Structure 1
Amino acid sequence: MVKKTIIILVLFNISLVVSQEGKVTQANKDFENYAFMDAIDSYEDLVKNGYTEEEIYKKLGNANYVNALYENAADWYSKLIKLENTTIDANYYYRYAQSLKSLGSYDESNEWMQKFYEQKTNDQRAINYKEKENYIERIRENSGRYEVKNLTINSTASDFAPSFYSDKLVFSTARDTGFATKNIHKWNNGAFLNLHVSKILKDQQFSTPERFTKELNTKTHESSSVFTKDGKTVYFTRNNSKDGRFSRDREGVSRLKLFKSTLIQGEWSKAQELPFNSDAYSVAHPALSADEKTLYFSSDMPGTIGASDIFKVSVNEDNSYGVPENLGKRINTEARESFPFIDEKTIYFSSDGHPGLGGLDVFAAKLDGSSEEILNLGEPLNGKQDDFSYVIRDGNGYFASNREGGKGEDDIYSFQENQPLRFDCLAQLKGIVLDQETQQAIPEAQVSIVDASGKIVATAVSDKNGAYNLDVDCTQNDLVIVANKEAYDSKNTTFNMIAGQINRVSILLQKAQVELVPAVGSDLIVGLELNPILFDLDSSEIRKDAALILNKASDFLKKNSGIRIEVKSHTDAKASKSYNQRLSGSRAKATYEYLVKLGVDASTISFKGFGEDELLNDCVNWEQCSKDENEKNRRSELIVVE
């Protein structure tokens, strides 16, 4: 895809270009020279002739991935991962998971993201995934705010990177360049890019697009522009060039650079390079702050966290520039962040490192520190493919996408924002804890909120009048309020928050009946006649059903403080023994930490993982058992030891 050249032409992680060791074939030469479409054809021919080498599968997956051919990428990554006697870098798990999203296979994608997380726990992409495992639900809650339409000015080629220029729209396009076929770009077999302009008419109609100006369009790529409000200055992206033609580095790569031009007596001046460009890295996709004193851009310059990061630099009154500054890990990840746009105090950008629907999604973040949230803009603006180069003005704007149903490889779409973005939506939850029989207030009762994933998201203690008050994320549904008090049975109540009002839930607790203490060596869960504490496949997260069981167990343990238990956790027989031993240890620790969080004395609990050594059934061969049979083995037990 043409726009992939601009997004990734060396902004994409160079680690995708694997080493040149081994037999040098024409396919390798094409790949190493970024002629990815030729490389794909050559590698596929090799596979047809019986080659199944790991490097070929990697390169086929990567070449398709960088050209947004996600279905093909998923196929080759799947073959790579299934190879025996290979050690696969976890980044391939990530790209496979991303490719699966673009096919709508979110459950399978999450399985591979879990594997990625287990190997890359400090990776920002893994952290984002783990902190937002319910990201699909959160995205859906933020969806439906836009009306999206395909523009009449789109061509059968690639059209993207719209920018506002007074009452006009300037954009990048690969439509007829007027040059010979030698100007076909080998990255994706697409034509080179130029800036075009079209006047915005009534009812989202446009005049016939024309080339923006011959002074700026050359025989290289020109793309992603931004204009000052007075229309007299433009910043834009261009390939490194000399005398209007490509200029390449020692690796044969033409890096991306930012240029500036000013309007003088109706003519655009010769474009000047910005001083922080380099022949050693790329700088692209300019955006201006509302006061035009800060320039934002995307780059892989030193200090970059991932494949490409978003930076900012001050624009001084004397037309000099400050030192570029990385926006940091809140926004940037080890993947791709690009195409920034600033609307007052909000930055919009495209990323495939934050949890999304597939490919590149558009996200928003606050620049003034008023919120730490990174919001996915949701459907229909985001979808399974690449969505990028978002711009907005007075609630109306444009973006580009390679989604199905378009006219070309990438199309520009208009949108109308019907509802504004909401950051950090909190609602109040108030209530009172009462004795069910006497209706008297119960002070010092612990009140906790458990979300749909089983995580405790808020906690309070009732006051002398039994009252409690909590701030809860109003976007979450299927919450459970859990109340505990010594000498009372634990009480669980399911509810949904309603934004914009005070939510009230009163809780009635019943006096606990005298219970028999389970014998030493027995499972407390069995003794309390509770359902088993089970885990999802390849996961140590406390499930919602398990959280409710642990709430009841903790209530008993707090009332019987002399009892000591050992948390024994287990796995099914899938994966290796060593892996299952580690996984069971993580499950035991998670169970222990959850009980402690509920108020059980940590000194009365020990924990240990037993891997697959204590199966409850004959499911030694995992594949020959049903889903339910295998699930029975993925459990934690609370064994009474004293």
Structure 2
Amino acid sequence: MKIYLFFLTLILSTAGFSQKKLEEANQLHDTFRYVDAAKAYEEYLAEAKDVATLTWMRIGDTYYNLKEYQKANEAYKKWYEDPTHELNVRQGYQYLDSFRRLKRYDEAHTIVERYYKEYSTKEKLTAYYEERDRFEELIKNDTLYTVKNAAFNSAYADFGGSFLEDQFVFSSSRNKTDNEITDRDYTPYLSLYSLQISEANPGQNPQLFNEQIESPYHDATACFTADGKTMYYASSFQSGKKKVFDGDKRNHFKIYRVDLTKKKPVKELLPFNVEGYSTGHPYLTEDGSKLFFASDMPGGYGKADIYVCDVYPDGTFSKPRNLGPLLNSTTDDFFPYFKGDVLYFSSAGHVGFGGLDMYKSFYKDGIYGTPINLGPVINTNADDFAYVEGKTPNTGYFSSDRAGGKGDDDIYEFTYNLELCQQFVSGTVYDLETRQPLADATVTLYINENEKFSEVRTDENGAYRLEVLCETNYTIEAHKAGYSKDGLNLNTDVTPGRTMKLLDFKIKDLSEIFTTDGDVEKIKVDPIYFEYYRYNINSVAAIQLQKVVDVMNAYPDMIIKIESHTDQRGTDYFNKELSTNRAEATRDWLISRGIAANRIESAIGYGESRPINICNEKGANCTEVEYSENRRSEFIVVKR
């Protein structure tokens, strides 16, 4: 009996210890102290018999935030595969991202596809498939980037960057001696450092950017006005020299503005900061008119979204505008950088290599285009973020915690080899009426509106294939003798080796557009009617004249002559003059639409001498319709 009681006491004691250790681990997890939480969970697992589904989720969180992705994946799997687990978007994302971090992309795809099928719309699932197709095409091709680790990185976190004249200002936790240590992962707080980028070499030692601005906590991600007088940056929210915590024991980032011309700079808390939420990663456009930033404030599409404010001349701001769901995802979107109508940003929510990837979006007419992944090498299965262009073309900097670096996050230099980026366009040319493919049709590619870039002929199946450059605007046109033309505008993206398929053209057979009048061959169009006593080309006449242009484009060797006529009202002299003006106006209109002047042999007005309808001198026997039929232009084929 005593032995039984001894073992019962031992079991109860062990159970009590296990429960106490779990409560300790959960508290550490909930206050983001992941290093200590991991140790506590490991001690708990060593004694626990049955582990609750929610506990596995928290263990997955802990290892994910410590970047131990294999352990995170194993814990999340136990949570995710339990049919009783509750849907949680953040943990669901982190589970699929742990697959991406381990380069197990097919398994990550299965997780996302299941989510969209069960919890989202058909349109969003289709958009995901399209984005995944672009990504799969991307990873099969060569990179456009050459990257190297910057010489000024330390053994601690170094990331971000912006220019203040020739100074490169970045964020770093290298100042271990002077900075306090964070409770979350026992690393020093961030400070702003700078160096003369032209002197960036192994001997260069970055200096603290401004001791008067530095706080005892996080100071990071700065940007500057073009004149260098004003700085925007993110800092831990403080009251005096103490951090301010909200209800869930979190200290948030806020964006501040500082006038650098003052002897003692003062931090100005900007009005769009929201209490209880973070704002950070500010980027000011070169003209100073717009300030982009990231925030997890309410009303977004995910954890952190990208916003923009107008900056008015008096220094005030417009209400922040969210950049919308095409750019912002269901998780984190950070580090905006806007230049030359292109927005670069980092996102964890779009289809990518893992963690944060860098993307670009073309901005036009107030709309941001589909995000484009910048591709392999510059993006990896680690966090890759904080894109910024360098002082010389096609160079720049970004940050990453990829393997092989010097510290936690490192800054990398890149060179962008755009001239190596080629894509392909393919499709088929069809007869518009019969839908049959047309062999020996010509497909021409134009750059800079009308400069011929390349040209091919379709094969026996009507198919063609053209090579194009990335990030270039083209016009592509299909034509064949005796047919109309068909064309479209083509804007290529930054995906190397991509083939854009099914760019098909349908052109119309114009061989039956001719008619004969005795021995004379004419272009068969509806009569070009003119208003009474007028010779200008009205909108109705222009429709018919465009048909003449199409025919002459289809037959590039064709030569015509124009004959214009009036009705029988008015004097012979007046009608001869009026018809001549009509013939010349018709000729000029054709020339204005690209028809060479030497392809129009003559433009003659015959007055009232060749009427279709014969009217008596007083015109009593002709209707207005019959008079209008006499006021016409005709197109005589001289050669084709």
- Verify same fold: TM over 0.5: yes
Q: For residues 360 and 243 of structure 1, do their structure 2 counterparts lie closer, same or farther at Cα, with a shift above 3 Å needed?
A: same
Return the alpha-carbon distance in structure 2 between the equivalents of residues 371 and 444 of structure 1.
40
| AA partner of residue 148 (structure 1) | V
Sort the Cα spacing of 1:505 and 1:469 in 2 relative to 1 into closer, same or farther, 3 A: closer
1:218 maps to 215
- Counterpart secondary structure, 1:190: coil
1:102-121: CA deviation from partner (whole Å, max 9, x where unpaired)? 11111222122221221232
CA 1:55–1:377: 2 relative to 1, 3 Å: same
Map of 1:57 onto structure 2: 56
Conserved? CA contact 1:430–1:469, under 8 Å: no
Give me the TM-score of the superposition, normalised by structure 1: 0.62
Identity of aligned residues (%): 29
Letter of the 1:197 partner, please give it: S
Partner of 2:112: 113
Per-residue CA deviation, residues 288-325 of structure 1 (Å, 9 max, x unaligned), is: 12311000000011211100000000111111111111
The Cα offsets for residues 359-417 of structure 1, whole Å up to 9 and x where unpaired, read as 10000111224772311001211001100111113322111101010011111101112
What is the match of residue 311 of structure 2?
A: 315
What is the one-letter code of the residue matched to 1:404? A
Name the counterpart of 1:74: 73
Q: Cα deviations across residues 519-543 of structure 1 (Å, max 9, x unaligned)?
A: xxxxxxxxxxxxxxxxxxxxxxxxx
Matches within 5 A, 1:297-336: 297-336=293-332
Aligned pair partner of 1:349 in 345, 354, 377: 345
Aligned equivalents of 2:230 and 2:122: distance in 1? 39
CA contact (8 A) 1:90 1:116 kept: no
- Aligned residue for 1:55, secondary structure, equals helix
- In the other structure, the counterpart of 2:133 is 134
Q: Distance in 1 between matches of 2:91 and 2:124?
A: 13
Q: Give CA-to-partner distance per residue, 1:475-508, whole Å, 9 cap, x none.
A: xxxxxxxx9xxxxxxx9999865326969999xx
Cα shift at 1:72: 2.6
Q: Give the secondary-structure state (helix, strand or coil) at the position aligned to 2:418.
A: coil
- 1:213 Cα deviation from its structure 2 partner: 1.0
Are the equivalent residues in 2 in contact too, given 1:430–1:468 (CA < 8 A)?
Answer: no
Residue number in structure 2 paired with 1:232: 229
Residues 428 and 470 in structure 1, CA contact (< 8 A), matched pair in contact too: no
Counterpart mapping for 1:562-641 below 5 A: none
Q: Answer whether contact 1:124 1:334 (CA < 8 A) is retained.
A: no
Give distance in 2, aligned partners of 1:93 and 1:126.
16
2:35 aligned partner: 37
* Higher-Rg member (1/2): 2
Alpha carbons 1:444, 1:466 under 8 Å: kept: no
In the alignment, what sits opposite 2:619? none
d(CA) in 2 for partners of 1:422 and 1:309?
Answer: 31
How does 1:42-441 map onto structure 2 within 5 Å?
A: 42-50=40-48, 51-83=50-82, 85-89=84-88, 92-122=91-121, 128-140=127-139, 143-179=142-178, 183-201=180-198, 207-264=204-261, 267=263, 269-369=265-365, 372-393=369-390, 394-419=393-418, 427=425, 429-432=427-430
5 Å-filtered alignment, 1:475-554, equals 498-499=467-468
Residue 94 of structure 1: CA displacement? 3.1
- Output the amino acid matched with 2:73: A
Q: 1:422 to 1:262 in 2, by over 3 A?
A: farther
- Residues 225 and 237 in structure 1, CA contact (< 8 A), matched pair in contact too: yes
CA 1:143–1:222: 2 relative to 1, 3 Å: farther
Question: How high is the TM-score relative to the length of structure 2?
Answer: 0.63
C-alpha distance in 1 between matches for 2:123 and 2:430: 40
Q: Which amino acid aligns with 1:52?
A: V
CA contact (8 A) 1:116 1:126 kept: no
The structure whose RCO (Cα within 8 Å, separation 6+) is larger is 1
Does the CA contact (< 8 Å) of 2:429 and 2:463 recur in 1? no
Q: Specify whether residues 470 and 88 from structure 1 end up closer, same or farther in structure 2 by C-alpha distance, changes over 3 A only.
A: farther
CA contact under 8 A between 1:38 and 1:186: conserved in structure 2?
no
**Cα distance, 1:225 vs. partner?**
0.8
SS in 1 for 2:364: coil
Judged with a 3 Å threshold, the aligned counterparts in structure 2 of structure 1 residues 317 and 366 are, in CA distance, closer, same or farther, namely same
**Do the aligned partners of 1:283 and 1:300 also contact (CA within 8 Å) in 2?**
yes
Alignment size in residue pairs: 441
Measure, in 1, the Cα distance between the counterparts of 2:477 and 2:259. Answer: 56
Shift of 1:287: 0.4
* Contact 1:177-1:193 within 8 A present in 2 as well: no
> 2 CA distance for matches of 1:420 and 1:314?
36
Distance of 2:463 and 2:430 partners within structure 1:
16
List runs of 5+ in structure 2 lacking aligned partners. Answer: 1-18, 446-458, 481-640
Q: Which whole-Å CA distance do the structure 2 matches of 1:279 and 1:79 have between them?
A: 37
Matched residues in 1 for 2:191 and 2:243: separation? 14
1:576 match? none
Compute the displacement of 1:139 (Å): 2.4
**1:192 & 1:64 partners in 2: Cα distance?**
21
Structure 1 pair 318–427 and aligned structure 2 pair: CA distance change class (3 A): same
With over 3 angstroms needed to count, the CA separation of the structure-2 counterparts of 1:281 and 1:124, relative to structure 1, is farther
Counterpart CA distance in 2 for 1:24 and 1:389 is 38
Aligned-pair CA distance for 1:194:
0.8
How far apart, CA to CA, are the structure 2 residues paired with 1:131 and 1:188?
38
Tell me if structure 1 keeps the 8 A contact 2:347–2:356.
yes
Task: Tell me if the contact between 1:113 and 1:126 (Cα under 8 Å) persists in the aligned partners.
Answer: no
Quick one: distance in 2 between partners of 1:467 and 1:127? 35
Cα distance between partner residues in 2 of 1:210 and 1:203: 12
**Does the CA-based 8 Å contact 2:152-2:201 persist in structure 1?**
no
CA contact (8 A) 1:388 1:400 kept: yes
Aligned to 1:547: none
Instruction: Answer whether contact 2:60 2:73 (CA < 8 A) is retained.
Output: yes
Counterpart-to-counterpart distance in 2, 1:294 and 1:303: 21
Q: Distance in 1 between matches of 2:160 and 2:430?
A: 55
Q: Deviations over 1:577-596 (max 9, x none)?
A: xxxxxxxxxxxxxxxxxxxx
Rate the CA distance shift 1:142–1:276 in 2: closer, same or farther, 3 A: farther
Task: Give unmatched runs, 5+ long, in structure 1.
Answer: 1-20, 434-441, 448-461, 472-482, 484-490, 507-642
> Residues 277, 94 of structure 1: CA spacing in aligned structure 2 closer, same or farther, 3 A cutoff?
closer
What is the SS of the residue equivalent to 2:344? strand
Deviations, residues 207-245 of structure 1 (Å, cap 9, x unaligned): 311111111111110111111122111110001111133
User: Counterparts of 1:135 and 1:104 in 2: how far apart (Å)?
Assistant: 17
CA contact (8 A) 2:279 2:293 kept: yes
